Amino acid sequence: MDTADTAAGASAPHPLVSVAELERSLRGDRPPRLLDVRWRLDRPDGRPAHREGHLPGAVYVDLGSELAAHGLAATDGRHPVPTPDELEQSAQGWGLREGEPVVVYDDLGGQSAARAWWLLRAAGLADVRLLDGGLAAWTAAGLPVETGDVRPEPGDVVLGSGRLPTVDADGAAAFPTHGTLVDSRAAERYRGEVEPVDPRAGHVPGAVSVPTAGNLDASGLFLDADALRARYEEAGVRPGEPVAVYCGSGVTAAHAAVALTVAGYDPVLFPGSWSAWSSDPDRPVATGAEPG
């Protein structure tokens, strides 16, 4: 496991920000930079939706080209983590400046914006938060949106790496021996009944199933800390013990990392996730409802 510097995590703000709190901060002396991270498997290009309506001043972030690396081996997964230099160049293009707060959002319950939250936190930015409820919560509150593109002046932010812990495939394989490995995909994918994207169906042996969608309530907001803690404890996660999380390609696993952080844990991310694991024919695969 990567021995990441977790001291930054201790001083970081709560990972979520409410619509009401964001609206107040945008009128304050130190408004945050807003990043619109709209992406989904069936519609990866979120720019048209961004142009149709986004939070005032929000800059569009392309998950596929700016929050993932390219040209690597299949065993690195479908959305490998970008290098520090690549992420810094993108972040400066979004206009991020040193010491500036950042709020990320999407229209998918936070499942794509959480990727930006995790990457920027891992790169050393402390004041990064995810808008709870995203665009839907903002518009439901009757707050205004803008149309068109936002083209900010280049920023001067300097990013690092390794500030949040990760594991590779070997680390994920060993994780169930000393902690809990959480599979955050839909339960039918965990059980191996269906696999719409990756080479093989099933899950990492020893992993438990806690689908990401269950971290939200009916209105699309995150459950409170107690409810999230209870949900993960029911699956075997224990206070004070290590917990790691993966998904299909490392995107929605970041959403689970947000939920676990809210619940009081220090989650470890397997960035390559199932797409990396299932691309290696030497890796064993478990199927069914049990960890295996």
| Domain segments of the chain as ranges | 7-140, 169-277
Q: How far is CA 133 from CA 185, 187, 220, 260, in A?
A: 20, 23, 5, 17
Q: Which of 78, 16, 60 is nearest to 250 (CA)?
A: 78
| Best-predicted range by mean pLDDT (4-8, 45-49, 139-143) | 139-143
Over 70: is that where the pLDDT of 1 sits? Answer: no
What digits encode the pLDDT tens for the residues 163-192?
A: 999 999 999 999 999 999 999 999 999 999
pLDDT of 11: 63
Taking CA 133 as the corner, what is the angle to CA 128 and CA 136, rounded to the nearest 5 degrees? Answer: 125
pLDDT, mean of residues 16-20: 98
pLDDT, mean of residues 109-138: 97
Over 60: is that where the pLDDT of 261 sits? Answer: yes
Q: How far is CA 136 from CA 20, 54, 121, in A?
A: 13, 11, 24
pLDDT, mean of residues 88-109: 97
DSSP E strands, the chain: 16-17, 33-36, 59-60, 102-105, 128-131, 180-183, 208-209, 243-246, 268-269
CB atoms within 10 A of CB 272: 30
Residue type (1 letter), 212: T
Q: What pairing do the DSSP bridges indicate for beta strands 268-269 and 128-131?
A: unpaired
pLDDT of 44: 82
Tokens coding 101: 């707060």
Cβ neighbours of residue 274 closer than 8 Å, sequence gap 6 or more: 183, 185, 189, 198, 203, 204, 246, 247, 248, 249
Give me the residues paired with residue 244 across strands.
181, 268
pLDDT of 43: 80
Going by pLDDT thresholds of 50, 70 and 90, the confidence category of residue 70 is confident
Q: How far apart are CA 146 and CA 268, in angstroms?
A: 36
- CA 21 distance to own-chain centroid: 21
pLDDT of 10: 44
Cβ neighbours of residue 151 closer than 8 Å, sequence gap 6 or more: none
Q: How far apart are CA 71 and CA 228, in angstroms?
A: 37
Going by pLDDT thresholds of 50, 70 and 90, the confidence category of residue 3 is very low
Is the separation of the CB atoms in 202 and 45 below 8 Å?
no
User: Is 247 among the residues known to form the active site?
Assistant: yes
What digits encode the pLDDT tens for the residues 184-227?
A: 999 999 999 999 999 999 999 999 999 999 999 999 999 999 99
State percent of the chain over pLDDT 90: 90
Over 50: is that where the pLDDT of 4 sits? Answer: no
Catalytic residue among 91, 247, 256, 260: 247
Going by pLDDT thresholds of 50, 70 and 90, the confidence category of residue 7 is very low
Going by pLDDT thresholds of 50, 70 and 90, the confidence category of residue 2 is very low
Q: How far apart are CA 16 and CA 224, in angstroms?
A: 11
Q: How far apart are CA 261 and CA 263, in angstroms?
A: 5
What's the mean pLDDT when you consider all of the chain?
A: 94
CATH of domain 169-277: 3.40.250.10
Provide the Cα torsion 101, 103, 104, 109; round to 10°.
Answer: 150
Whose tokens are 């069936």? That residue is: 42
CATH architecture entry for 7-140: 3-Layer(aba) Sandwich (3.40)
